[in-house]
Amino acid sequence: MIVARRIVSEIAKKGLRPGDRLPPERVMLEEYDVGRGTLRESLRYLELSGALSLKPGPGGGPTIEKPDSSNLMNSIALLLQFENASLETLLEARVGLEPMNARLAAEHISAEQLAALQSSVTRMSENIKDLDTFYETSKEFHDGLAWASGNPLLSYLIDALGSLFANPQLTDYSLRHRKADLAAHIEVLDALTAGDPDRAETTMRAHMVEMAAQLRKHAAPILAQPVAWKVAQ
pLDDT score recorded for residue 62: 93
pLDDT at 174: 85
pLDDT tens across 70-107, in order?
989 999 999 999 999 999 999 999 999 999 999 999 99
- Residue 168's pLDDT is what? 61
118 and 10 inside one domain? no
Residue 129's pLDDT is 93
Residue 232: predicted pLDDT: 47
Domain holding 32: CATH number? Answer: 1.10.10.10
Domain with 44 in it: 2-64
Same domain, 54 and 168: no
State the Cα–Cα distance between residues 165 and 154, nearest whole angstrom: 16
Residue 143 CB neighbour total at 10 angstroms? 18
Ordered DSSP codes for the chain: -HHHHHHHHHHHHTT--TTPBPPPHHHHHHHHT--HHHHHHHHHHHHHTTSEEEE-STT-EEEE----HHHHHHHHHHHHHHTT-BHHHHHHHHHHHHHHHHHHHHHH--HHHHHHHHHHHHHHHHTTT-HHHHHHHHHHHHHHHHTTSS-HHHHHHHHHHHHHH--GGG----HHHHHHHHHHHHHHHHHHHTT-HHHHHHHHHHHHHHHHHHHHHH-HHHHTSBP--PPP-
Task: Let me know whether 21 and 76 are in one domain.
Answer: no
Q: Which pLDDT belongs to residue 166?
A: 76
Amino acid 171: pLDDT: 63
Tell me how many domains the chain contains: 2
pTM of the model: 0.84
Q: How far apart are CA 31 and CA 34, in angstroms?
A: 8
6 plus 85 within the same structural domain: no
Looking at the structure, tell me whether residues 118 and 182 fall in a common domain.
yes
Contact 107/150 with Cβ under 8 angstroms? yes
Both 84 and 156 in one domain: the answer is: yes
Gap between the Cα atoms of 209 and 140, Å rounded: 20
Q: CB–CB of 209/61 below 8 Å? A: no
- Per-residue confidence (pLDDT) for residue 169, from 0 to 100: 66
Residues of the chain with pLDDT under 70: 59, 167-172, 231-233
- Per-residue model confidence (pLDDT) at position 229: 86
Residues 26 and 103 in one domain: no
